Amino acid sequence: VQLQASGGGSVQAGGSLRLSCAASGSILSIDDMVWYRQAPGKQRELVAGISSGGSTNYADSVKGRFTISRDNAKNTVYLQMNSLKPEDTAVYLCNAEVLVDGDNVRYLEVWGQGTQVTVSS
């Protein structure tokens, strides 16, 4: 099972970006899907999460600016980022709890490779 993140880039403050993270492999279902970010010299922090039922939670720093959503049919989670600020600059990583099919059906915590978001003032 793999997570492939995309959509990062460089924007000016006030701009928008939409990140995507698609899961692939022998997937039976996906529970929570979460976006984290890590800036240079800082700890990784949770940005937003969404449950399989659509319940969401956000870091205080992004509430009202970012929106997380998912398409269960596509095994994909999105992060719409509006009104971006220079302090949003970081590598954004996606994470998911995946029920994996196979001889041993089990839950795996899977991480994507990260996508860079750079916001200039």
Distance separating alpha carbons of residues 56 and 78, to the nearest angstrom: 12
| pLDDT score recorded for residue 53 | 94
Instruction: Give the contacts of 96 (CB within 8 A, at least 6 positions apart).
Output: 3, 21, 23, 30, 31, 32, 33, 34, 77, 109, 110
Specify the DSSP class assigned to residue 82.
Answer: -
Averaged confidence pLDDT in the chain: 96
pLDDT at 31: 97
pLDDT digits (tens, 9 = 90+) for 75-111: 999 999 999 999 999 999 999 999 998 888 899 999 9
Q: Give per-residue pLDDT as tens, 33-76.
A: 999 999 999 999 999 999 999 999 999 999 999 999 999 999 99
> Under a CB-based contact definition with an 8 Å cutoff, are residues 93 and 33 in contact?
no
Percentage of residues in the chain with pLDDT exceeding 90? Answer: 96
